[in-house]
Amino acid sequence: MGQLEGSGHWLSGPAGADNTVPKFDLAVRAGSDLAIFRDTTGGGPTARLVQFSAQGIVQSFQIGLPRCTHAAYVAVANDPTVPERVLLYDQIQKSVGSVEVSSSGTYKTGPWTKPYGGTWTHVTATWSGRIVFHNSANGDVAWGHLDKTGMYVHDGFVNLSKGGLGYDQIVPAGNEYVIFYQKTAKGAFKAGDWELVRVDAVFQPVQKDGSLRLLDNARLGPSALGLVLAYKAGTGEATAFGVFDPDSSSLAADEDLRVYPLGAFPLGWDHIVPLGLL
């Protein structure tokens, strides 16, 4: 655990804290101090809801989460009347639903529906609640939102392919932006290629690759204030960069805030989950 400051500086959490959770391959934010961990390969409905503080794990609960293969945290920034939810997507059944969870371990399931399009390989959501599906095999993208009942509502569809292929990671970057990132070279993609897209009432590509060259073979971890950490599990190096509104005079669409050398971070992490205020 740690904190990514607005300057891109990383503050490590307390040493010696026991932050161990059961084996998982899906990890998703569920609230300001909550995260869900799930082993989707086991086929069962159980998951682990974990509450954190700055010192580490406070408590955890086993919950009977509906079956899913992908998940994304969905909230509407600066609107306390809209509950925080976790979007659940089942690639096998091609269905999408949502849940509200509490720190007591209880949860409420929203209605399920079929999302627009075929099979999706990635799903994420901006901090303002716009949901984005992506298919890395062909570059298809669909976006939408959750209504007041927690049901997914489709807003639009576009193809964002490069040479007929899509990106292999998507992460939110602030309230209205999503970064599409390619970690390794494939087809027309070079390792580290990326694209910044604004998602609100429309889907608008803003910048492609640009002046900032991201690390190749990295894992992107979203944070508050449009910050993103690009981390390489094999070497421990990382880059913290910011994504801000290109219409703002304060910063460009991307800004390389801090570069961390080899071994700056522990090796081998394969999931990054943001907590705290976004």
Residues 120-133 pLDDT 10s: 999 999 988 999 99
Please give the single-letter amino acid code of residue 174: G
Q: For residue 259, what are the β-bridge partners? A: 239
Q: Among 108-112, 142-146, 197-201, 241-245, which is the least confidently predicted range?
A: 241-245
**Contacts of residue 183, Cβ cutoff 8 Å, sequence gap at least 6:** 168, 169, 191, 192, 216, 217, 218, 219
Is the confidence at residue 235, as pLDDT, over 50? yes
Give the confidence band of 268 by pLDDT, cuts at 50, 70, 90: very high
46 vs 134, residue with greater confidence = 134
Separation between Cα atoms, residue 132 and residue 171, nearest integer Å: 9
Q: Which of 208, 102, 226, 203 is nearest to 156 (CA)?
A: 203
Q: What percent of the chain is modeled with pLDDT above 70?
A: 90
Supply the pLDDT for residue 166: 94
Supply the pLDDT for residue 247: 56
Q: Are 262 and 232 in contact (CB under 8 A)?
A: no
**Contacts of residue 92, Cβ cutoff 8 Å, sequence gap at least 6:** 67, 69
Separation between Cα atoms, residue 210 and residue 228, nearest integer Å: 16
Q: What is the pLDDT of residues 4-26, one digit of tens each?
A: 877 788 888 776 566 777 778 89
Please give the single-letter amino acid code of residue 212: L
Give the confidence band of 178 by pLDDT, cuts at 50, 70, 90: very high
Separation between Cα atoms, residue 38 and residue 166, nearest integer Å: 26
Compute how many other C-beta atoms are within 10 angstroms of the C-beta atom of residue 2: 12
Mean pLDDT of 218-245: 88
Query: Do β-strands 152-159 and 140-146 pair in parallel, antiparallel, or remain unpaired?
Result: antiparallel
Q: What is the pLDDT of residues 250-261, one digit of tens each?
A: 444 455 678 899
pTM of the model: 0.91
H or E stretch at 267: none
Q: Which of 10, 93, 5 is nearest to 264 (CA)?
A: 10
Domains of the chain: 2-260 (2.120.10.30)
Is the confidence at residue 249, as pLDDT, over 60? no
Supply the pLDDT for residue 256: 62
Both tokens of 209, joined, read: 């690759």
**Sheet containing 56-64: which strands, arranged edge to edge?**
26-31, 34-38, 46-53, 56-64
Give the confidence band of 106 by pLDDT, cuts at 50, 70, 90: confident
Mean pLDDT of 165-180: 92
Mean pLDDT of the chain: 86
Out of 137-146, 203-212, 255-264, give the one with best mean pLDDT. Answer: 137-146
Separation between Cα atoms, residue 57 and residue 38, nearest integer Å: 16
Q: What percent of the chain is modeled with pLDDT above 90?
A: 48
Please give the single-letter amino acid code of residue 187: G
